[in-house]
Amino acid sequence: MVEGVGWLVAGNAFSQGLGLVSMILASRLLGKQGFGELGMIQQTAGVLGVVAGFGLEPTVTRHVAHVGRSRPALAWRLVVLSERVGWITSAGLVLLLGVGASFVATEVLQAGHLSVGLRLSAFWVAGQILLGIQLGGLSGLEQFGRLAVIKVFLGFGTLLLMAPFVAWWGVHGAVAALTLSSFGAYGLARHRVRRLLPEKSASPEKASPSFFREILLHFSVPTVLVALVTLLGSWGASTLLARQPGGYEALGVFHAAHHWYQVLNFLPSAICVAGVPVMTSLLAEGNPEACSRLLRRMIRLSVLLVAAGGVGLSLLADPIMRLYGKAFGGNTVVVRLIVLQACLVAAINPVGRFILASGRMWAGFALNTGWAFLLVATSGFLVRLGSRPEALASAYLVAHAVQGLCTFAYATCRGREFVR
C-alpha cells in the first residue's frame, strides 16, 4: 500500500496542481459571476451524472479488487459490462440535458443564458463516467503508477485547453475544455486497462446471473444513491445561494475557496483510494483486525496532513484568494471555514471507504442522506440572513460535524461486526 500511496500522491499532486492553475486562469478571465456560473453548471450536470454513472467506478474498484487475483477473467467481464452500461447511460444523459437544459437554466437557476453550457456539460459528465470506469479497473488491480500517469495527463490537457477556450467562448469554452480533456484521458486509460486484463483472462469465465444481481442490488444501487444524495445536497445548497441577490458572485467566491479544500484533501484522498482495494482484500481473506488497524492509521494520518496544511492556508488566505483576481480578495473567513471542514472530512472519509470496502453501502446511504438534508436546511436558513459565501461554508461545516458524529457512532456501535 505504501508504494501505491506514493504513486497516487505524486499523480494527485500534479493533477490537482494543474487543475488548480486551470481554474485560477478561468476565474481571472471570467470574473466572480462567470466563475460562479461555471461552478453551478458543473454541479447541476454532476447531479444528473451520478444517476447516469450508476456507481460504476466504485463498483468496478471494489469488485475487481475482490476477484482480480483469484478470478481475473471475471474481473475482465466486470469492466467490459460496466463500460457498456456507461455508454448507454451517458447517451441518455446527453439526450436528457439536450431536451431539458432550457427549462433548468431558466426556471431553476434563473439564468437562461446557461442552457448552452448545460448541454455541453452532458458530454463532460459522459467523459467523466467512462474515465471513472477505467480508473476503477486500474485501482482495483492496484496499478497505481498507471493511474497517476492518467491523472497527470488529465491535468495537463485541462491546463492547455482552458485559457484559449475561455478566451474564445467564455463559460461555455471552459466546459468544452473540461470535456475534451476528459475524453482524452478516457482513451488513454482504456488503452492501459486493455493491455493489462487480456493477459489475465485468456480463457473466458462465466458468472451466474445471481452474482451480477448481488452486485447490482447490494452495491451498485446504494452506491449511486449515496453519490446522488450527496450531490443533490451540494447542488441544493448552492442553488439556494445562487437565487439570492448577488448569489452568483458569492458562489464564485465560495468555489474559488473550495478549490483549496480539494488541495488540502489530495493526500488523504490518495491514502483512501489506495486503502479501498487493500481493505477489500483483507476482508476477503477473513482478517478484519488488520483492516481495523489500517483504518485507524488512515484516520490519524489524514487528519494530521490536513491540519498541517490548513494552518498555512489560513495564514495565507488573503493572498491566495487574490490569485483569482482582485475582486476575490478579502474573503479570508470563508477560507478558514473550509479548512475546518477539510479537517472533519479527513477524519470521516476513511470510515466511508471502510464502509465501501465492507460492502455496507446501505449504511453509507443513510448517513449521507442525513448529511444532505441537514446541509440544505442549514443553507436555507443561513443564506436568508445574507447571501455571502460564509453562509454556505458554515452550512457545510455544521453538516459535516453532525455527519462525523453519526458515522463514528455507527462504526463504534457495530464494533467487530462492522467488518464481517
Q: b or e along 48-83 (b: 16 or more beta carbons within 10 Å of the residue's beta carbon)?
A: bbbbbbbbbbbbbbbbbbbbbeebbbbbbbbbbbbb
How many percent of the chain have pLDDT more than 90? Answer: 55
Write the pLDDT tens digit of every residue in 137-195: 998 887 888 988 999 999 999 999 999 999 999 999 999 999 999 999 999 999 988 88
What does the pLDDT read at residue 418? 44
Tell me the average pLDDT across 391-420: 82
Least Cα distance to 38 among 53, 21, 20, 23 occurs for: 23
Q: What are phi and psi of 324, to 5 degrees?
A: -80, -10
What does the pLDDT read at residue 409? 87
d(CA 276, CA 58): 9
Write the pLDDT tens digit of every residue in 310-368: 999 999 999 999 999 999 998 999 999 999 999 999 999 999 888 878 777 788 889 99
Choice among 62-71, 120-129, 260-269, 381-390 with the minimum mean pLDDT: 62-71
Rounded (5°) CA angle 231-232-234:
60
What does the pLDDT read at residue 341? 96
* Position 16 confidence tier, pLDDT thresholds 50, 70, 90: confident
What does the pLDDT read at residue 420? 44
Tell me the average pLDDT across 205-210: 56
d(CA 186, CA 392): 33
d(CA 379, CA 338): 15
Distance of CA 155 to the CA centre of its chain: 15
Segment of 27-41, 280-294, 401-415 carrying the highest mean pLDDT: 27-41
**Angle of helix 56-67 versus helix 115-140 axis, rounded to 10:** 10
SS3 274: helix
* Position 250 confidence tier, pLDDT thresholds 50, 70, 90: very high
**Residue 143 is part of which domain span?**
2-419
Contacts (Cβ under 8 Å, ≥6 apart) of 348:
400, 403, 404, 407
d(CA 203, CA 349): 38
What does the pLDDT read at residue 203? 46
What does the pLDDT read at residue 78? 85
Mean pLDDT score of the chain? 87
Residue in the block written with cell 461552478: 39
d(CA 136, CA 132): 6
Query: How many residues would you count in the chain?
Result: 420
Please count the structural domains in the chain. Answer: 1
Amino acid, single-letter form, for residue 344: L
Tell me the average pLDDT across 213-234: 79
